[in-house]
């Protein structure tokens, strides 16, 4: 089984269900996308949702993926930056509780948060205050940590810091590791398209994209977009929601059928999809079986609120017969 290290923005998720798009529009957020916000706007949003019910949990895209891998029994570690505050301590404790080896940096800046608005159509819109997560610098990356792993999985949300993600990718390649990346958000892909292309062309071995991200990057619809992505990456995955997903490697297309679900909240669906797919590859499964596990996990997750499956659902999962 391959050991997988996730590197990303260590955040605490604050999930809020809203009746419509009013509050999203009020703060000028792009529905279905992710916007980086400063501390003032973050505090304004928190004040506006103070009386609304919310779910609070540790998160960050890659953190969610490593959590899923650990719950599946795969060796997983996580590197990110947290604040020296109660939320940072909670983040570390959760890593340890679920079996994710923490390689955490600490900052005097407060731990970052991702405020997630969930609309009745199960779409999610993020306002992300990076906080301590944004303080992680290339010089802080302990390359010796990479010696204990076989794959490095990074999130597209790191592309705001070109030097950091380049340092991570270069270090991984120097150590002979595979690099896996999730595109993370269509608006980030749009803003950093040329840089994303450089990453895919020169470093990334496994790329995950949803149909919006794939379309933004290539200008094409999912299947054609997959073909373009596969020219850059040895293993390319495009997720198309209720229509399933597709994998392309060595010019061969594998279609993965969707698993039926009644969506409540799509937060983290792509993250746990990556957990299942990387788990399958780690076990030596083919793309069809790996995709089937990924789709099953994503389907179960979107029937819950939050970016992680509850404990009782993990206990009832049977992966071996998939």
- pLDDT tens for the chain, residues 1 to 322: 899 999 999 998 888 999 999 999 999 999 988 888 999 999 999 999 999 988 888 888 999 999 999 999 999 999 999 999 988 998 999 999 999 999 999 999 999 999 999 999 888 898 999 999 999 999 999 999 999 999 999 998 898 899 999 999 999 999 999 999 999 888 889 999 999 999 999 999 999 999 999 999 999 999 999 999 999 999 999 999 889 999 999 999 999 999 999 888 888 899 999 999 999 999 999 999 999 999 999 999 999 887 889 888 887 887 766 6
Domain assignment present for residue 50? The answer is no
**What SS3 class is residue 114?**
strand
Sequence-ordered list of residues with C-beta below 8 angstroms from that of 107, at least 6 positions apart, any chain: 81, 82, 83, 84, 131, 132, 135
Q: How many domains does the chain have?
A: 1
Domain assignment present for residue 187? The answer is yes
Domain assignment present for residue 193? The answer is yes
CB 242 within 8 A of CB 214: no
**What SS3 class is residue 17?**
strand
Q: Can you give the residue range of the structural domain that contains 238?
A: 4-9+59-111+131-316
Domain assignment present for residue 231? The answer is yes
Domain assignment present for residue 207? The answer is yes
CATH of residue 231's domain is 3.40.1190.20
Rg of the chain in Å (alpha carbons): 18
Domain assignment present for residue 31? The answer is no
Task: Indicate the pairing of strand 206-210 with strand 235-239.
Answer: parallel
């Amino acid at each position: 089984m391959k050991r997988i290290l996730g590197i990303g923005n260590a955040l605490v998720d604050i999930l809020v269900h809203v009746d419509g798009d009013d509050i999203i529009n009020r703060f000028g957020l792009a529905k279905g996308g992710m916007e980086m916000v400063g501390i003032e706007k973050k505090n304004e949003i928190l004040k506006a949702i103070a009386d609304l019910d919310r779910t609070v949990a540790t998160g960050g895209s890659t953190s969610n993926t490593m959590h899923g891998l650990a719950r599946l029994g795969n060796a997983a570690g996580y590197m990110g930056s947290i604040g020296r505050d109660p939320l940072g301590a909670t983040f570390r404790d959760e890593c340890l509780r679920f079996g994710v080896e923490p390689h955490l940096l600490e900052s005097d800046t407060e731990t970052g948060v991702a405020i997630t608005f969930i609309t009745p159509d199960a779409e999610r819109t993020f306002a992300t205050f990076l906080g301590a997560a944004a303080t992680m610098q290339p010089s802080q990356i302990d390359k010796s940590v990479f010696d204990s792993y076989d794959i490095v999985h990074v999130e597209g949300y790191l592309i705001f810091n070109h030097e950091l993600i380049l340092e991570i990718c270069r270090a991984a390649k120097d150590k002979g590791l595979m690099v896996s990346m999730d595109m993370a958000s269509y608006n980030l892909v749009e803003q950093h398209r040329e840089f994303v292309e450089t990453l895919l062309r020169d470093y990334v071995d496994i790329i995950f994209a949803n149909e919006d991200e794939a379309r933004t990057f290539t200008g094409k619809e999912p299947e054609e977009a997959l073909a373009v992505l596969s020219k850059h990456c040895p293993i390319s995955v495009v997720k198309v929601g209720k229509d399933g997903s597709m994998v392309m490697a060595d010019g061969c297309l594998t279609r993965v059928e969707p698993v039926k679900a009644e969506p409540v909240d799509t937060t983290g669906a792509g993250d746990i999809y990556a957990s299942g797919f990387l788990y399958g590859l780690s076990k030596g499964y083919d793309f069809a079986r790996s995709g089937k596990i990924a789709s099953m996990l994503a389907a179960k997750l979107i029937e819950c609120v939050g970016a992680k499956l509850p404990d009782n659902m993990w206990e009832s999962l049977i992966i071996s017969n998939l």
